[in-house]
Chains A and B, each alone.
Chain A
Amino acid sequence: MARYLRRRILTGILCIIAALCINFVIIHAAPGDPIRILVGKDNPNPELIAELTEKYGLDQPKIVQFGKYVGNLLKGDMGVSIYTNEPVWDMIVQRLGPTAMLALTSAVLAAIIGTAIGIFCARRVGSKLDMIVGSVSYLFDSTPSFWLGLMLILIFASTLRILPTSGMIDMRADHEGFAKALDIMKHMILPVSALTLTLIPYYFRIARSSIIQVMGEDFITTLRATGVPEKRIFRKYIFRNAILPTITVFGIQLAYLVMGSAIIEIVFSWPGMGSLVMTAITRRDYPLLMGIYLVLSISVAVMMLVVDILYSVLDPRISHECR
């Protein structure tokens, strides 16, 4: 177990270092000068350009810039945005909340609904209903999330007019307390539905196939032969064994969801990480971009590590195999 853990942590750290390097190389090799954008194309004031270049350390050799960046990171300083002068960390933290709200809600909903449908179908393998649900899951798997979002807006917001089209709160209504929470919830319905619908097929497939797999194992046949009630076999033996892969998928999905929800956030003008990424890209705000990428990489690495550890605790065969 300890050896397995050490290996996994090492991989996680390597991954973050690789992310840092890739990040730095890509952003600094890219064409386009952030100082130029900051100064404005029609304002070639050489003194101002030189001053700003020096201020942000862009005149130093790349390796020195990289060393400085890593050094500051270790001190917990991610730098300031070239564009707004705000600390990068603060900008990211502000946006993490709304994104987490969307991502968590839809992940939990999708996991519950998808697993439930998966179990339902697994117990009726090969039936007409199973085939129909399977085909629908194909359909949702092939649907681009942004298009689904637009269709939901088209149906529920602009045609039926029962839900708001975009944003997180109604700016005109000055809600406080409970009314505000209710307002946010109302704004969440459409983006959460779009995300949940695109996530359900994953959980459905995993739950369905792992339950069918466990149902075919020898020990289940033995249990049946010894006359254990079918309900008890399902609850105690099949479900418990078959739910493991769902836990893994949940963890991995959650880590990627921050990025996955970005495009939905843009469709619904949700004030989260997605719109921050887009503004950082259009403004070529290097420190902000690097910060976002780093936070994402670390969160994915940590999430995967947690999932692996959890998995090896729940299923001891995993860490034994690694030896």
Chain B
Amino acid sequence: MRLNNAIKTINGNPQLRTGCIMLIILLVIALLAPILAPHDPYALSDDMVVAPCREYLLGTDGLGRDILSMILYGARTSLIVGFTAAIIAGIIGTLLGGFAGYFGGKIDGIIGEMINIFMMMPSFFLILIVVALFGSGLFNVMVVIGLTTWVGNAKLMRAQAMSLRQRTFIKAAEAIGENRIKILFKHVIPNGIFPIVANTTMGISGAILTESSLAFLGLGDPNIISWGQIIQNGKSYLVNGWWMCVFAGLAIIFTVITFYLIGDGLNRVLSPKLSKVMFFTM
């Protein structure tokens, strides 16, 4: 029954519907990359800088690797980075925002100030420095993006917790002497989590863009294929081999739009009033 409801909601919202279809395509590509890829994406061959043809549908790069296979495998990297970084940011934001909003007082003062400070930080530069100095393994990239992008979630959760605190069912739970931490985790967070879910979905887009920028600057994980890295390598062949940069960039755009659409759709389902006004909130 709940599943039916969910499908109905998704079907009723064009953004959500398109986004979900695109997400399914992406997931299939990422999961079945070894089956779908016509060549080994790591294998070097003598067919260097070959334009798109029947053998290599999207051409080959300067080392003779098949671009199509690389892009298919790259979907894995993008999705892993996007999901992990956004979930880290979601968890940190929910916890900090929940504590600040529900407990208020001094805790709110300290966390509120932390939120203000982090909002003012040039976060991309921070990510750049940390990744450059501590090594650019995939793990580092994901964690650093997660650790620097939780602010939006924290602000949303704080506002949610502040308004939920005034509701009768929370007051009732407090009156019968339930542990306040328990109330926070059992009642406040589950009831206020929805906007954070929507925001986190958009965070996936942001994380994917950040990862591709890092890879483009040569600060991505050198051992793993990623779309940003394909573009970085293709940059020097721009004139003779446009296909290297073009297709990888299109893949990034497709993925980023997918999560924007889903996040936007979730926001609209959440508050139908918004649907006329906003394309999507940041």
Contact = CB atoms under 8 A, between A and B. Distances in A.
Residue of B125, B130, B132 ringed by the most chain A CB atoms within 10 A: B125
B133 A30 contact: yes
A277 B133 CA distance: 13
B216 A277 contact: no
A150 B238 contact: yes
B210 to A, nearest CB: 10
Contacts of A208: 279
Contacts of B212: 144
B128 A32 contact: no
B120 A12 contact: yes
B44 interface: no
Interface string B98-125: 0000000000000001001101111011
A4 B135 CA distance: 42
Interface residues of B, number: 44
Interface string A1-20: 00000000001101100110
Contacts, number: 132
A260 B205 CA distance: 17
Interface stretch (A66-74, A75-83, A180-188, A293-301): A293-301
B171 interface: no
A12 B239 CA distance: 47
Interface stretch (A43-51, A106-114, A133-141, A226-234): A133-141
Main secondary structure of the interface of B (DSSP, over half): helix
A15 B121 contact: yes
A14 B252 contact: no
Contacts of B113: 11, 14
B245 A150 contact: yes
A177 interface: no
Nearest to A278: B217
Contacts of A282: 132
Interface string B209-221: 1001100110000
A94 interface: no
Contacts of B228: 144
Contact of A11 (B116, B130, B217): B116
Most buried by B among A30, A31, A202, A292: A30
Contact of B245 (A137, A154, A263, A300): A154
Contacts of B253: 139, 142-144, 147
Given A143-B253, A150-B231, A31 B277 contact: no
Interface of B: 113, 116-117, 119-122, 124-126, 128-130, 132-135, 205, 209, 212-213, 216-217, 228, 231, 235, 238-239, 242, 245-246, 249, 252-253, 256-257, 260-261, 276-280, 282
Interface of A: 11-12, 14-15, 18-19, 22, 26-27, 30-32, 125-126, 134, 137-139, 141-144, 146-147, 150-151, 153-154, 158, 202, 205, 208-209, 212-213, 256, 258-260, 262-263, 266, 277-278, 281-282, 284, 289, 292-293, 296-297, 300-301, 304
10 contacts: A19-B121, A142-B209, A142-B260, A143-B252, A144-B252, A150-B235, A260-B124, A277-B128, A281-B129, A293-B122
